[in-house]
Structure 1
Amino acid sequence: MPALTPATIFLDAALPVQIIVVALIVAALAAVAVTAKKVASGSHLTGGSAYLSALRLGAPLLGLLGAAFNGLMMFVALAKFGDQPINVLAPGLAEAMFLVVMGLIVGVVGVICHWIVEARVDRAVLRA
């Protein structure tokens, strides 16, 4: 059995799980881009704060939703095929935890980006 790495977990995952992981990665990159745009805009207050605010809570929930979906699929398979050894269940468990961790990482990125933007907005408003 090959070693479980983030890449092998992703490549062996079901299509809905892969879509969730890609969506989380794109969301994190978009958060960084929105933050960079807002910081570079100088004294102009541009949009994007609502996206960052939503990402703070939305990303962990999306990761949790993916993990719950994965767990549901594992339990359906267990009900269909009966007891399985832990080495058969381990990839599915790793996939579920991978989704939770990805959601939390993107949520942390969202929180940090939101703090940066809010600090910049506070400075701009207090100077006016």
Structure 2
Amino acid sequence: MVSSILMVILALCVLAAGFLTLKKELAADPPVFSSKKEAKEEMVGLFQDRGFFYLTGIALLMQVVCKQAHIVPFDFFQAFLASSGIQALFYFIKRKDLGLKTVLVILVSFIFLFF
């Protein structure tokens, strides 16, 4: 029950962060590039994830360690939701502390596993 409520809250945070990002991107003027190098730097900037892949990996590791390799597809969803939900929460409060994000992803993963 607790994990279901937490999943809904995290999913709503991800959805709201997506809408805010989309709104911000649609309001901005399209970029104009003068060289390929500048365009490449912009593309690399788009893919900077601020630890998203690390957090997803940590959440998956928690699933594998605690379930001892009895992984089902739903576990991948939970790991993705834990990492993206925490990223969305930090997006709202405008902080980039990777250590705190890691601790919260581990905590949320334990809640998903045991509650």
TM-score (norm 2): 0.34
Between structures 1 and 2, the one with greater helix share = 1
Highest Rg: 1 or 2?
1
